[in-house]
Structure 1
Amino acid sequence: MAELEQLRTENRQLHQALASHAVIDQAIGVLVVLGQISPADGSRVLREVSQHTSNSPPSRNRSSNTPRALPCPTSCSGNCARP
């Protein structure tokens, strides 16, 4: 019985990992299309942003629906096609 519960837990974790991976791939795709950057740079930007942000609520001085600007990838040096 313990083995069955362990397999169910592992199955649940694998499903969560697959769902998370799909969301990350979609986010990279959005960065690639909107930022006109390569998938490798999209992945790098996503990683950099996630390392420098937290899940804390936005500051009171800022509207909660105001989007934050994404930084250029370090390989861009400000020369990318982003506005």
Structure 2
Amino acid sequence: MAENSENIEAKLCAYVEGDLDDNDRAEIERHLEANPKHRHLLTELAATRDLLRYLPREHAPSELAESFNGQLER
């Protein structure tokens, strides 16, 4: 895998979320077999994702959505 580390790490995030297509998933799995550093990172990413699921969800104030939509219309 001749990709830079930043691109691989982005793909690892997508891998954890199940967002990769079959080709990218197979490519990452081959890469992980040969790269213990990224296997460890994958474990940490999955653990972080699992912990984040326990955080309470906050709802943004309606004014924020209105402000955001106003900015998009400009």
Common topology (TM > 0.5):
no
User: TM-score with structure 1 length normalisation?
Assistant: 0.27
Higher helix share: 2
User: TM-score with structure 2 length normalisation?
Assistant: 0.30
